[in-house]
A and B are shown apart, each in its own frame.
Chain A
């Protein structure tokens, strides 16, 4: 079923009785060409592009819970292409271009809203660093505008510009940055993959990966064994457990990141605001809730919930930046499991086992990557060669020290990103 304005109108007349389930709920087949472990954003987009770009449709996505129940449904939905280092720059730039055509491509409203992202700075040194980042973004072909204090005030008059600790000196505006509806992205890719013949198998936990003579042959699951010529591990925070089934140990540590949402308010925050010095960022969802978050709790965790000290820290930073939000009431807070890599950049690569592929290390920024990651991972699986936009996301960069992508310049070590 294609969605259209006409269809919505027609269903309005027919009492909404003609809508059908958006994807099938098939039984697992005994054999697939490609099995994808993990039905998050990256697994679903990989399946979609395998079918769309490479004509591979004998594909299954195996999800232990329900589609979109992981981080893809827990993130704060910021989409941006403001990276600095070669490797990341071209990849996120490609992702932004895919985002811009995504709703039309998927025939699904992902509510991508390019409302503009403003990164604030608070000193001359920080201004220089942001001017440099802006130039790197422009060199990459993306957009960036350096705003002075009055420029920021024209967009965000409600900030506390004279905060004694972090007075606002200006900001780097990324006009094409913004947000999207996280669930819709998962559902849109799921529907697109299903329509092209991909089997989406939910409640199907992978419990083992079968390898014979250095070649992957299939997986063991809670819904029985499934044979496959190629297997992709795309399990985000659970990557360590999944890779262990293939006898691999990864350069990944899983940490908890929290987020918060207030009750719905009338439109008040029109942009995405990032207050890096306070570890705070905020936007307003289309439902009206102020969606905000901060830094990792900074300890290893799989609990999908954090502790109160970080919640307090985030609220304090929000109050320092925009005292007006003290009036809003927080409705909910939650946490997700982040697959943190030592240099803060991701991995899309082959493994030492033939036919076994790895996609992980998205840290706290993998939502915006969903389109380009699926695009590149599908290319890697189909052709056995990295896609040019993801050519530097090599797994061996940690062992060799070549090609590390440490955006923050803090060192390629765990717990620094």
Chain B
């Protein structure tokens, strides 16, 4: 599996750290119900197939969003979090 850093291009998997489901970008409001925080922290769709997740490129220190398939390990698209939340 190789990933494409939006800044550095396609790089070896060893340069990246997985940071979990991209749901982390949709942080609840500070005063949201406890249930919203519970879902944000713990509950996962955990799809067997296409997924969106956060990765961190260690050499350049930037985060990115990857659209990837958990069943095949194919990486479809990567983008900066700014692009992903536009």
Contact = CB atoms under 8 A, between A and B. Distances in A.
B71 interface: yes
B74 to A, nearest CB: 10
A309 B14 contact: yes
Given A251-B43, A253-B46, A399-B35, A303 B71 contact: yes
Interface in A180-219: none
Contact of B46 (A250, A298, A303, A342): A250
Contacts of A252: 44, 46
Interface residues of B, number: 27
Interface string B42-63: 1111111001010000000000
Contacts of A251: 42-44
Contact of B12 (A298, A303, A309): A309
A240 B1 contact: no
B20 interface: yes
Main secondary structure of the interface of B (DSSP, over half): mixed
Nearest to A248: B43
Contacts of A298: 17-18
Nearest to A298: B18
Given A301-B70, A399-B35, A254 B46 contact: yes
B43 A250 contact: yes
Contact of A300 (B13, B34, B41, B46): B46
Given A241-B48, A251-B43, A398-B38, A415 B20 contact: yes
A398 B21 CA distance: 17
A414 B53 CA distance: 13
Interface of A: 238, 240-241, 249-254, 298-303, 307, 309, 342, 398-399, 412-415
